[in-house]
Amino acid sequence: MNLKGSLPLLVLHVLSTGAAHGYHIARQIKQASEGILDFKEGTLYPTLHGMEKRGWIESAEEEANGRTRRVYRITGEGRDALAQERDEWGAYAAAVNLVLGEA
Amino acid sequence: MAHQPDDDLARWLGEATRGLTPDVRDSVQAELEAHYHDAVRDHVAAGKSETDAHRAALADLGDAAPTARALRETHSSPRRYEIAMILSLIYPFAAFGFPALVRSLTGSAVSETIAYNLAAAALTFYVLLALRRLVVEQTGVSLDRQISLLMWGIGAEAVSTIATVLIFGPLRGLPYLWGGSSLALVVLDWVTVAGFFTTGLGLMSIGRALLRLDGGLWGLRHALAYPALADGLLGLLLALGIVVAGPNPGAAYEGTLVALSVVAYGLHTIIFALLTLLFFRVLYRQRPDPLQVA
């Protein structure tokens, strides 16, 4: 299912539970949604880099199993953005449900 | 032929990171490569063969094109659109105002001609390169051949005209109709004519390429393509007229060619400025939001 612009919210939520690299973030989203939120994983990286430029997350390179990985962490600004994105998503979902409920 | 997963990955990484600066490209490729190998490991652990695991990991990454567009948008400054738009706006000034300013400062018609050709060629090249990059970034359509043709034509016109005034002094009438007073002049005449011809072909091929772009926001393409085609045709007619005229064709014929030349130059300058300004504006407005790409 298309993420309908919700990827930043989902990434912020995953990172609010702890630092993670891109692959782990993608797995978390897919597993937590029981495979329903299935997106092309290449597109995760422009989103991560865009969020980093906005100051929502920060990253550092770490060595693991002989391979360099970029690990992301949520920032204070990211936590504020998460709260705001969560509110907006809640309002959006409620509005859609209202319409569907009336149909 | 045996399946080559490393080649497939390298091709995907190259396409996804095309257009990034070398530092950013290396860093992003390393990150995506680590992601790919983690995915291969998990697919193998889930019971897939090595070959199937590589194939599945690549499929998980998806099509490289949307990733490439969003990565370029993330790692480039939006100012590149604004700079390109500003240069499009000042192009007519560079073509007409700047040479006049140089002449008023130096009192030299030769300086004016050199200033015109250098300023116009430099700006044109910058704007064409920006156009080529942004069109490929956003549409995947390559204008390499068409824009190279136009750049060669404009370059030949500029170099031959500058060389002509440096060697023979200020222009009097159309330099390519001076005719046969020296071998150098004949050579420069023909380079100029070839420049007109190539510029005309380049403009016409860009016009044709614009017409082949998809619709949607590219609805503007007709407004831009047809004047480009007309201007290209004028350039070709001018080149043909010069070739047919031969040296010293007479005042009436030269007068006709001068009029055609003035129309071609004026039209070219206005079309080029409008075409690039509108293009950059459309590209700016439909640039992707990297956070909304999935």
* Model confidence band, residue B167 (pLDDT cutoffs 50, 70, 90): confident
List the single residue in A with minimal CA-CA distance to B28: A45
Question: Tokens representing A47?
Answer: 């989103």
pLDDT score, position A17: 95
pLDDT score, position B60: 93
Q: How far apart are CA B93 and CA B87, in angstroms?
A: 10
* Model confidence band, residue A42 (pLDDT cutoffs 50, 70, 90): very high
Q: How far apart are CA B8 and CA B13, in angstroms?
A: 9
The helix (H) or strand (E) run that includes residue B200 is helix B183-212
The residue-averaged pLDDT of B195-205 equals: 82
Closest listed residue to residue A27, CA positions, set B29, B71, B27, B43:
B43
> Residue B109: exposed, middle, or buried by beta-carbon count in 10 A (0-12, 13-18, 19+)?
middle
Residues of chain A with C-beta less than 8 angstroms from the C-beta of B30: 68, 70
Q: How far apart are CA B94 and CA B97, in angstroms?
A: 6
Question: Tokens representing B71?
Answer: 């990565």
Q: How far apart are CA B139 and CA B209, in angstroms?
A: 12
| Residue B146 predicted with pLDDT over 90 | no
pLDDT score, position A39: 84
* C-beta atoms of A3 and B294 within 8 A: yes
List the single residue in A with minimal CA-CA distance to B13: A42
Q: Which residue has the higher pLDDT, B247 or A95?
A: A95
Q: Which residue has the higher pLDDT, B254 or B11?
A: B11
Phi-psi region of A34 (alpha: psi -120 to 50; beta: other; left: phi over 0): left
pLDDT score, position B145: 86
pLDDT score, position A91: 92
Enumerate residues 6+ apart whose C-beta is below 8 A from B18: B68, B72
Q: Which residue has the higher pLDDT, A46 or B92?
A: A46
Give me the residue label for tokens 């865009």.
Answer: A50
Phi-psi region of A48 (alpha: psi -120 to 50; beta: other; left: phi over 0): alpha
pLDDT score, position B175: 56
Beta strands in A20-56 (DSSP E): 20-21
Give me the residue label for tokens 């430029």.
Answer: A53
pLDDT score, position A86: 93
Query: Who among A27, A46, A68 is closest to B67 (CB)?
Result: A46
Q: How far apart are CA B198 and CA B236, in angstroms?
A: 8
The residue-averaged pLDDT of B190-201 equals: 82
User: For residues A72 and A15, is the Cβ–Cβ distance under 8 A?
Assistant: yes
* Model confidence band, residue B162 (pLDDT cutoffs 50, 70, 90): confident
Min Cα distance A95 → chain B (Å) is 20
pLDDT score, position A21: 94
Q: How far is CA B75 from the centre of its chain?
A: 22
Closest listed residue to residue B204, CA positions, set B161, B151, B150, B255:
B150
pLDDT score, position B1: 45
* Model confidence band, residue B216 (pLDDT cutoffs 50, 70, 90): very low
Residues of chain A with C-beta less than 8 angstroms from the C-beta of B293: 7, 43, 46-47
The residue-averaged pLDDT of B261-283 equals: 74
pLDDT score, position B39: 94
The residue-averaged pLDDT of B117-121 equals: 81
| Bridge partners, residue B97, by sequence | none
User: For residues B151 and B204, is the Cβ–Cβ distance under 8 A?
Assistant: no
3-class SS letters over B88-129 = HHHHHHHHHHHHHHHHHHHCCHHHHHHHHHHHHHHHHHHHHH
Q: How far apart are CA A14 and CA B22, in angstroms?
A: 30
Q: How far apart are CA B195 and CA B162, in angstroms?
A: 13
Q: What is the mean pLDDT of chain B?
A: 78
> Of B31-35, B245-249, B266-270, where does the model show the most confidence?
B31-35
| Residue B292 predicted with pLDDT over 60 | yes
| Bridge partners, residue A71, by sequence | A21, A60
Residues of chain A with C-beta less than 8 angstroms from the C-beta of B292: 5, 7
